[in-house]
């Protein structure tokens, strides 16, 4: 069983023994800009620094520590080879403005990666520029605007999305200047075609959808959805956060999606890095190609170019060409997996999810609202436990930590009460899945207080998030001033 | 080895859940859109992949093979082995955003320390736990100004990178804001104060300046600029190079409200331009409007010190369409590299690093301008980048390249009045040999 180390590790500034407070200004600088006093960052020895961060690392759960089944996050194993290669000087020590003749390797990788994504998603062309999924969404919506405007259609100021959508979808829509219309899902947990039809109008710019959706349910009506969205003159956007469910089984391009983003830090195994960096490439159908960000990568004979010559392009949304180090890892991953590997990833991700789902429903401790068959993830409700024992999803999450297990995503999607959103991914062995299932079943039967008072086997016990807001201690200076 | 342990027992697992084939799991996908497989090559072994990537790597020339003097906001810096070893801890890099604080105290504390150090060097009260890069931080800053003070224009100087201008335009497309560009003084390379005066008015939501600016020149009229901005009660946004902050006053001292910047130089490699590290910090009064994640210090149920994400009601996962930003995944690991780097350097180290970069910038500029035909375009005091007028920039570029050197960034397409100009950049990492080699080739040009 995983056990975290426990340290009372001081803050770096608390490690400092003695400050040297003299500072000599750089007098050739204009006096209005000269620094006059020392920077208040402790001067420590490397031994202290390494020990500090080493200890912190030992109080941090990663996918290497154990199963990390955060729904919607696709926490799969991060192959070491991808890490190692991405650190080679030949890639890491290249400058984005070097002469094109000296970066042919990078450009070839990016060019080929675009092709690979086109095949995986069924789209016509890709840009690798967006830094993460949500920036991919934002970019996709800028393309949407450019597309409608190029048709002299300036009325379309609404984005429709289902109530199961991820928070970044509406946030990106707002940022792109759109009004959001959220539509309720059916009793099956899928898009309500009748409501969608009624909501679509000459004001709709785009309908944003993930498929399978965030409940893990495949939108089987997708062809009809695409038809009515297009009939209304709107575009169909694919939030590709969940594409780990369908690689080699179906392509968003064939489903009728016009714009697709991928989260390379989910499906394509690049590590999350404790929050990032990620990459959120987007693919589009031909009709949107001219608007894609620049530079595009083009190939003539055997030479690759950074091509800026796209007058209708929306320009740039991020400095340079995207998070190259992340792109490189995804490229390596796809080479390793190949066609059968990617397909099997999806197959086993779905098998693992349905295996867990079945065992957990059969336990009769948890309920599965909405349709039965799920793809790579499923969302349980522990509302029953809440009613019977007052145990909430949050409590279960914290109790799992006592078993050395990382909790699933909780309270999302919003339409499931007391939601536990579980995505095991293909990386986990049956043994691990069984252990997790067993823990969840056991927790449901435990006495209320041990669940309510969890966790106790972690470096800190339940963290008081509410008082963090009240205290507003956000830097060590604010702590000293207290 | 495909990282799929259950591959070999799928039949028995299927049976256990009363299914026969994998296909049944996908029966909800309509036949018409089902495919049998992707048209991709077969997977290859790790050994083979490594070989292929070595070949691809050989098609690049990295800094270690070809010294580069490119400026333009990204330059190589020395990365201590200690920093590399810290971010290579897989407990850190294989973790997700710390939604469960009890299992993520390590990363949370490191981010709290990152915020502390960024606030310290920028002179602000708070910093977030990173944005994508310095350029998107500018976009977010403009949006934040518009939330703080809903007005019509956001003012930027002309002497910032073209990328930033374009990104800013895209980030503000969904608002009513128009962007106004302020001319620069063609002698000094600094903002033209008269033009700035003319363009700040009651419609100005925010004013952005960069220190040092795109030409590497320090904007030293900060007190004048600051009072112009304050007079109109606009928000004052300053972009910084964190290394330069080792020797310059922090923008808090000249009353900036928001300080942003590109933090890649703090312990992160160039990586062909990505990943970056968007620094974002501000004064306490605007904290509710800040985009991105923030880590706070609190207690656990036993009263022990603990850390967690805080003020999440600003964020998309809670506030959805009314969030301060759409950002979710950020640049966590780059921020970790930055805090490890700053801890390793210490305050004294950062001061020293700033000094070295400044001095190397002065020395290289002096060497180059001592050559006939090469002149510094702007007389303003510069940091570690500077603009040089060359006899023939394109010819020089090719000549350097054939000698195994990447010269400065050609500015032809930045502005027509910068024909044959190159933006040179130099840092602590450039060796004396490579500098001598550069200078000797420039000499041959005259
Ligand atoms: C369904 C869904 N959409 C979008 C996103 C946003 O992606 P990112 O975090 O890369 O910005 C996520 C992940 O957080 C997600 O799960």
What is the DSSP track for B2-60? -S-GGGGGHHHHHHHTT---HHHHTTTS-GGGB-S----PBP--HHHHHHHHHHHHHTB
Listed residue (A148, A292, A156) closest to B170, CA to CA: A292
Chain B residues close to A98, C-beta within 8 Å: 61, 66, 68, 70, 406
Name the closest residue on chain B to residue A40, using Cα atoms.
Answer: B347
Query: Is A276 in contact with B330 (Cβ distance < 8 A)?
Result: yes
Residues B299 and B396 in one domain: no
Section B238-262 average pLDDT: 98
Residues A319 and A383 in one domain: no
Percent of chain A clearing pLDDT 70 (strictly above): 100
Distances in Å between the Cα of A160 and the Cα atoms of A107, A169, A189, A219, B389 are 37, 10, 17, 16, 53
Q: Smallest CA–CA separation between B409 and chain A, in Å?
A: 7
Largest CA distance in chain A: 76
Residue where one domain finishes, among candidates A337, A368, A396: A337
What is the A293 CA–ligand 1 centroid distance (Å)?
21
In chain A, the number of structural domains is: 3
Residues B286 and B322 in one domain: yes
Query: What confidence tens digit (pLDDT) does each residue in B251-302 have?
Result: 999 999 999 999 999 999 999 999 999 999 999 999 999 999 999 999 999 9
**What is the bridge-based pairing of β-strands B153-157 and B204-211?**
parallel
Residues B297 and B276 in one domain: yes
| DSSP track, B384-401 | SEEEEE-S-HHHHHHHHH
Decide: A477 and B126 in contact? Cβ < 8 Å: no
Residue B296 belongs to what H/E stretch? strand B295-299
Please give the pLDDT value at position B318.
Answer: 86
Chain B residues close to A248, C-beta within 8 Å: 35-38
CB atoms within 10 A of CB B194: 11
Residue B144 belongs to what H/E stretch? helix B134-148
Q: Smallest CA–CA separation between A445 and chain B, in Å?
A: 23
Listed residue (A460, A337, A349) closest to A6, CA to CA: A460
Chain A residues close to B122, C-beta within 8 Å: none
In chain B, the number of structural domains is: 2
Query: What confidence tens digit (pLDDT) does each residue in A291-345 have?
Result: 999 999 999 999 999 999 999 999 999 999 999 999 999 999 999 999 999 999 9
Decide: A433 and A422 in contact? Cβ < 8 Å: no
Residue where one domain finishes, among candidates A318, A337, A356: A337
| Mean of pLDDT over chain B | 96
Give domain status of residue B257, yes or no. Answer: yes
- Reported as a pLDDT band with limits 50, 70 and 90, residue B127 is very high
Query: Is A475 in contact with B112 (Cβ distance < 8 A)?
Result: yes
Rounded Cα gap, residues B181 and B172, in angstroms = 15
Q: Smallest CA–CA separation between A22 and chain B, in Å?
A: 10
Residues A194 and A242 in one domain: yes
Decide: B138 and A85 in contact? Cβ < 8 Å: no
Section A154-165 average pLDDT: 97
Evaluate the CA torsion angle B61, A118, A348, A166 in order and state its sign. positive
Q: At what angle do helices A133-150 and A168-175 cross, to 10 degrees?
A: 40
Q: Smallest CA–CA separation between B206 and chain A, in Å?
A: 18
Nearest CB to A89 within list B27, B64, B68? B64
Query: Is A336 in contact with B2 (Cβ distance < 8 A)?
Result: yes
Q: Give me the residues paired with residue A191 across strands.
A: A185
Residues B276 and B350 in one domain: no
Residue where one domain finishes, among candidates B342, B367, B392: B342
Nearest CB to B298 within list A88, A324, A467? A467
Query: Is B321 in contact with A174 (Cβ distance < 8 A)?
Result: yes
Residues A210 and A227 in one domain: yes
Query: What confidence tens digit (pLDDT) does each residue in A336-371 have?
Result: 999 999 999 999 999 999 999 999 999 999 999 999
Residues B213 and B246 in one domain: yes
Give domain status of residue B30, yes or no. Answer: no
Complex ipTM tops 0.95: yes
| Mean of pLDDT over chain A | 97
Section A71-78 average pLDDT: 97
Q: Which of B22, B82, B96 to mutate to test the interface with A (most CBs of A within 10 A)?
A: B96
Query: Is A105 in contact with B85 (Cβ distance < 8 A)?
Result: no
Please give the pLDDT value at position B1.
Answer: 55
CATH of the domain at A389: 3.90.1150.10
Residues A406 and A433 in one domain: yes
Residues A201 and A333 in one domain: yes
Query: Is B22 in contact with A39 (Cβ distance < 8 A)?
Result: no
Residues B358 and B327 in one domain: no
Residues A174 and A310 in one domain: yes
Q: Smallest CA–CA separation between B373 and chain A, in Å?
A: 24
Atom of ligand 1 at shortest range from CA of A210:
1
CATH of the domain at A310: 3.40.640.10
Give domain status of residue B6, yes or no. Answer: no
What is the B435 CA–ligand 1 centroid distance (Å)?
45
Structural domain for B169, as ranges: 81-342
Please give the pLDDT value at position A401.
Answer: 98
What is the A427 CA–ligand 1 centroid distance (Å)?
20
Name the closest residue on chain B to residue A275, using Cα atoms.
Answer: B97
Rounded Cα gap, residues B366 and B386, in angstroms = 11
Give domain status of residue A395, yes or no. Answer: yes
Listed residue (B436, B277, B266, B430) closest to B357, CA to CA: B430
Size (chain A), residues: 482
Rounded Cα gap, residues A126 and A203, in angstroms = 27
Residues A329 and A349 in one domain: no
Indicate if the pLDDT at residue A149 is higher than 80: yes
Section B375-404 average pLDDT: 97
Decide: A245 and A217 in contact? Cβ < 8 Å: no
For residue B364, give every residue at least 6 positions away whose Cβ sits within 8 Å of its Cβ, in sequence order, or none.
B69, B386, B424, B426, B430, B435
Rounded Cα gap, residues A44 and A55, in angstroms = 16
Rounded Cα gap, residues A313 and A306, in angstroms = 14
Indicate if the pLDDT at residue B446 is higher than 80: no
Query: What confidence tens digit (pLDDT) does each residue in A14-27 have?
Result: 998 777 778 899 99
Section B52-61 average pLDDT: 98
Give domain status of residue B350, yes or no. Answer: yes
Residues A105 and A245 in one domain: yes
Give domain status of residue A471, yes or no. Answer: no
Chain B residues close to A23, C-beta within 8 Å: 351
Give domain status of residue A115, yes or no. Answer: yes
Query: Is B296 in contact with A468 (Cβ distance < 8 A)?
Result: yes
Classified as helix, coil or strand, B262 is strand
Q: At what angle do helices A104-121 and A324-362 cross, to 10 degrees?
A: 30
Residues B172 and B261 in one domain: yes
Which of A24-28, A264-268, B210-214, B380-384 shows the lowest per-residue confidence on average (mean pLDDT)? A24-28
Ordered alpha helix ranges (H), A292-447: 324-362, 383-389, 393-402, 430-445
Give domain status of residue A481, yes or no. Answer: no
Listed residue (A206, A177, A392) closest to A288, CA to CA: A206
Give domain status of residue B168, yes or no. Answer: yes
Give domain status of residue A52, yes or no. Answer: no
CATH of the domain at B436: 3.90.1150.10
Chain B residues close to A246, C-beta within 8 Å: 26, 29
Rounded Cα gap, residues A145 and A317, in angstroms = 14
Give domain status of residue A374, yes or no. Answer: yes
Q: Which residues approach ligand 1 with their CB closer than 6 A?
A: A 72, 132-134, 166, 168, 210, 214, 239, 241, 263, 278, 280; B 328-329
Give domain status of residue A300, yes or no. Answer: yes
Q: Which of A74, A135, A237, A263 to mutate to test the pocket of ligand 1 (most atoms within 8 A of CB)?
A: A263
- Reported as a pLDDT band with limits 50, 70 and 90, residue A42 is very high
Chain B residues close to A73, C-beta within 8 Å: 96
Rounded Cα gap, residues B165 and B159, in angstroms = 10
Give domain status of residue B294, yes or no. Answer: yes
Atom of ligand 1 at shortest range from CA of A72:
16
Residue where one domain finishes, among candidates B342, B368, B399: B342
Chain B residues close to A49, C-beta within 8 Å: 82, 86, 340, 343-344
Q: Smallest CA–CA separation between B22 and chain A, in Å?
A: 7
Give domain status of residue B46, yes or no. Answer: no
Residues A25 and A105 in one domain: no
CATH of the domain at B201: 3.40.640.10
Query: Is B132 in contact with A132 (Cβ distance < 8 A)?
Result: yes
Q: Which of A68, A71, A72 to mutate to test the pocket of ligand 1 (most atoms within 8 A of CB)?
A: A72
Q: At what angle do helices B393-402 and B432-444 cross, to 10 degrees?
A: 130
Q: Which of B53, B81, B356 to mutate to test the interface with A (most CBs of A within 10 A)?
A: B53
Query: Is B13 in contact with A430 (Cβ distance < 8 A)?
Result: yes
Structural domain for A139, as ranges: 80-337
CB atoms within 10 A of CB A295: 19
Query: Is A63 in contact with B57 (Cβ distance < 8 A)?
Result: no
Query: Is B6 in contact with A348 (Cβ distance < 8 A)?
Result: yes
Give domain status of residue A282, yes or no. Answer: yes
Decide: B132 and B331 in contact? Cβ < 8 Å: yes
Evaluate the CA torsion angle A72, A76, A80, A81 in order and state its sign. negative
Give domain status of residue B432, yes or no. Answer: yes
Residue where one domain finishes, among candidates B315, B342, B369: B342
Which residue's CA is the closest to the ligand 1 atom numbered 9? B329
Q: Smallest CA–CA separation between A396 and chain B, in Å?
A: 12
Query: What confidence tens digit (pLDDT) does each residue in A96-124 have?
Result: 999 999 999 999 999 999 999 999 999 99
Q: Is A449 left (phi over 0), alpha (psi -120 to 50) or beta?
A: alpha
Chain B residues close to A475, C-beta within 8 Å: 112, 115-116, 119-120, 125-127
Please give the pLDDT value at position B401.
Answer: 97
Residues B329 and B425 in one domain: no
């Amino acid at each position: 069983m995983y056990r975290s180390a426990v340290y009372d590790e001081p803050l770096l500034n608390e490690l400092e023994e003695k400050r040297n407070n003299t500072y000599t200004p750089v007098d050739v600088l204009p006096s209005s800009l000269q620094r006059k006093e020392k920077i208040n960052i402790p001067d420590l020895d490397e031994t202290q620094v390494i020990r500090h961060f080493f200890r912190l690392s030992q109080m941090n759960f990663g996918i290497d520590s154990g199963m990390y089944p955060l729904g919607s996050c696709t926490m799969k194993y991060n192959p070491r080879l991808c890490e190692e290669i991405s650190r080679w000087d030949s890639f890491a020590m290249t400058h984005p403005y070097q002469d094109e003749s000296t970066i042919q390797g990078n450009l070839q990788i990016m060019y080929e990666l675009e092709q690979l994504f086109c095949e995986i998603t069924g789209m016509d062309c890709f840009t690798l520029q967006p830094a993460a999924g949500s920036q991919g969404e934002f970019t996709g919506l800028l393309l949407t605007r450019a597309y409608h405007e190029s048709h002299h259609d300036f009325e379309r100021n609404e984005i429709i999305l289902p109530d199961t959508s991820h928070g970044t979808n509406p946030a990106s829509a707002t940022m792109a200047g759109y009004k959001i219309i959220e539509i309720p899902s059916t009793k099956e947990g899928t898009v309500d075609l009748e409501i969608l039809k009624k909501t679509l109008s000459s004001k709709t710019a785009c309908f944003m959808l993930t498929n399978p959706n965030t409940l893990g349910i495949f939108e089987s009506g997708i062809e009809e959805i695409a038809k009515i969205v297009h009939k209304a003159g709107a575009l169909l956007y694919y939030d590709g956060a969940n594409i780990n469910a369908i690689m080699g089984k179906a392509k968003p391009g064939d489903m009728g999606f016009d714009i697709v983003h991928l989260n390379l830090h989910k499906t394509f195994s690049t590590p999350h890095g404790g929050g990032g960096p990620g990459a959120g490439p987007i693919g589009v159908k031909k009709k949107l190609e001219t608007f894609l960000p620049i530079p595009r990568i083009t190939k003539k004979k055997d030479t690759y170019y950074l091509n800026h010559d796209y007058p209708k392009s929306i320009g740039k949304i991020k400095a340079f060409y995207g998070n190259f180090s992340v792109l490189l890892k995804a490229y390596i991953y796809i080479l390793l997996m190949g066609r059968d590997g990617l397909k099997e990833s999806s197959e086993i991700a779905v098998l693992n999810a349905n295996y867990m789902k079945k065992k957990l429903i059969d336990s009769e401790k948890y309920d599965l609202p909405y349709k039965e068959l799920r793809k790579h993830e499923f969302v349980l409700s522990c509302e029953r436990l809440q009613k019977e024992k007052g145990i909430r999803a949050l409590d279960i999450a914290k109790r799992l930590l006592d078993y050395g297990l990382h909790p699933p995503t909780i309270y999302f999607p919003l339409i499931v009460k007391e939601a536990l959103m579980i995505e095991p991914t293909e990386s986990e062995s049956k043994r691990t899945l069984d252990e997790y299932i067993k823990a969840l079943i056991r927790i449901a039967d435990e006495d209320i207080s041990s669940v309510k008072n969890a966790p106790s086997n972690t470096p800190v016990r339940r963290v008081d998030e509410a008082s963090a807001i009240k205290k507003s201690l956000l830097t060590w200076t604010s702590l000293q001033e207290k | 080895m495909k990282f799929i342990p259950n591959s070999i027992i799928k039949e028995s697992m299927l049976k256990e859940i009363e299914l026969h084939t994998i296909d049944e799991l996908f029966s909800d996908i309509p036949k018409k859109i089902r495919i049998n497989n992707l048209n991709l090559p077969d997977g290859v072994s790790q050994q083979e992949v490594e070989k292929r990537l070595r070949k691809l790597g050989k098609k690049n020339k990295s800094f270690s093979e070809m010294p580069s003097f490119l400026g333009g906001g990204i330059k190589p810096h020395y990365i201590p082995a200690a920093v590399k070893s810290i971010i290579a801890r897989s407990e850190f890099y294989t973790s997700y955003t710390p939604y469960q604080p009890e299992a993520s105290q390590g990363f949370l504390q490191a981010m709290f320390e990152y915020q502390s150090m960024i606030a310290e060097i920028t002179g602000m009260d708070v910093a977030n736990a990173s944005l994508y890069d310095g350029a998107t931080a500018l976009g977010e800053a403009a949006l934040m100004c518009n939330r703080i003070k809903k007005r019509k224009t956001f003012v930027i100087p002309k002497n910032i990178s073209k990328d930033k201008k374009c990104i800013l335009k895209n980030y503000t497309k969904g608002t009513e804001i128009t962007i106004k560009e302020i001319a620069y003084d063609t002698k000094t390379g600094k903002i033209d104060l008269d033009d700035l005066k003319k363009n700040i008015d009651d419609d100005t939501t925010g004013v952005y300046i960069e220190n040092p600016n795109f030409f590497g020149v320090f904007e030293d009229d900060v007190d004048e600029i600051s009072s112009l901005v304050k007079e109109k009660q606009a928000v004052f946004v300053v972009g910084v190079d964190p290394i330069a902050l080792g020797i310059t006053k922090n923008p808090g001292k000249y009353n900036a409200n928001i300080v942003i910047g590109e933090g890649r130089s703090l312990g992160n490699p160039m990586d062909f331009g990505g990943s970056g590290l968007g620094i974002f910090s501000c004064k306490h009064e605007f904290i509710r409007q800040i985009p991105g994640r923030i880590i706070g210090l609190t207690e656990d149920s036993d009263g022990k010190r603990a850390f967690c994400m805080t003020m999440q009601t600003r964020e998309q996962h809670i506030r959805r369409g009314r969030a301060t930003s759409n950002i979710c995944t950020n640049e966590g690991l780059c921020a970790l590299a930055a805090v490890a780097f700053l801890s390793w350097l210490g305050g004294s180290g950062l001061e020293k690093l700033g000094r070295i970069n400044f001095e190397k910038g002065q020395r290289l500029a002096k060497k180059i301008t001592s050559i006939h035909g090469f002149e510094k375009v702007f007389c303003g005091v510069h940091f570690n980048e500077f603009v040089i007028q060359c006899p023939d920039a394109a010819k020089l570029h090719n000549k350097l390249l054939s000698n195994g050197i990447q010269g400065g960034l050609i500015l032809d397409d930045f502005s027509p009045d910068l024909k044959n100009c190159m933006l040179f950049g130099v840092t602590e990492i450039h060796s004396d040999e490579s500098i001598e080699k550069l200078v000797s080739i420039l000499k041959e040009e005259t």
